[in-house]
Amino acid sequence: MTSFTISDGQLDGLKDQVAVITGASSGIGLATLRRIIKHGGKVFASDLTPLPEPEASSVPFLKADVTSWKEQLDVFKAAEQEYGKIDHAFANAGIGKSTSFLEEEVDENGDLLPPKMNTINVNLVGVMYTVKLAIHYLKKNPNGGSIVMTASGSSFARLPAEDYTTAKHGVLGLLRALQPQLHPRLPIRINAVAPSWTDTAIVPRAMIAALGDSNVQSADVVARSVGVLMADKERHGELVYSALGKFVEMEYGESGFHALTKPMMELAEGGEKKEVLAAEKRVDEVLEEMAVENHGISVVTE
């Protein structure tokens, strides 16, 4: 894992770039829209709710439900028609938990109802739709481009929200599956952001009050990580965790997830058990260090 900072100068590469953003009307999506425009980029926005002012008067927008392939397709078509190209896509739209495996809802006959799939459909299927469309449209761009997905701290840690955590693990899985298939084979990079507690509509106001303002980051902190993943052409296959203005790249480096889990994989191929135990211990130590550095906000919730 590698800690780093993000300066305004590192976002200058957004100038004249065109980004499609889902879930653009609030939270991380709106903060990213504003950050891109601040650095000279252009945005085509989509959401179920309209953009607020002043963005509503100046940013092209199309209402779209990310669970609808047709509506997302219309967004990408409109963005290409508006700007003549697409350089980046931010698969950001998301909702909070919508089901529980412990509560027992029944129908009029007293039969158990299936779990609601709203969160899976928005946070994972919707992201997959955005990514599939983005690859298609970025292939048309002679310079290629990048895709950024909104994952979460719960993409790699324990958060007791069954559908939300499952979907965010799925986003990380999509990142890992596509990383070897895109750059450098195609001029398309893919990355993801993994925010810690962030002041958005997904986090209940009561939770933010309980955590305290000093332990919750603004959406712009996450927007900066989105911006650098778009602007920095060297970044590919990264998962950037953000917490209170600090940024950590989780996938690579000597203590990144892949380096730490390699001995575990080698065990299945005849490696030494002591190497696996050492790697497991180091994973625990790194997560513990991150929890301390983030003013007591643990990325592991049990």
Residues of the chain with CATH 3.40.50.720: 2-252
CA 139, CA 134: separation in Å to the nearest integer?
Answer: 8
The contacts of residue 206 (CB under 8 Å, 6+ apart) are none
Task: Judge whether residue 62 has pLDDT over 60.
Answer: yes
pTM: 0.86
Radius of gyration of the chain from Cα atoms?
20
Average the pLDDT over 9-18 and give the result: 97
Query: Helices (DSSP H) in the chain: which residue ranges?
Result: 27-38, 69-83, 118-120, 126-139, 162-178, 205-211, 219-231, 257-267, 273-293
Q: How does pLDDT run across 241-263, given as a tens digit for each residue?
A: 998 888 999 999 877 888 888 77
- C-alpha distance across the termini of the chain, in Å: 23
Query: Position of tokens 């409109």?
Result: 78
Query: Position of tokens 């926005």?
Result: 45
Task: Judge whether residue 297 has pLDDT over 60.
Answer: no
In the CATH scheme, what architecture does the domain 2-252 have?
Answer: 3-Layer(aba) Sandwich (3.40)
Locate 127 and state its tokens. Answer: 């992201």
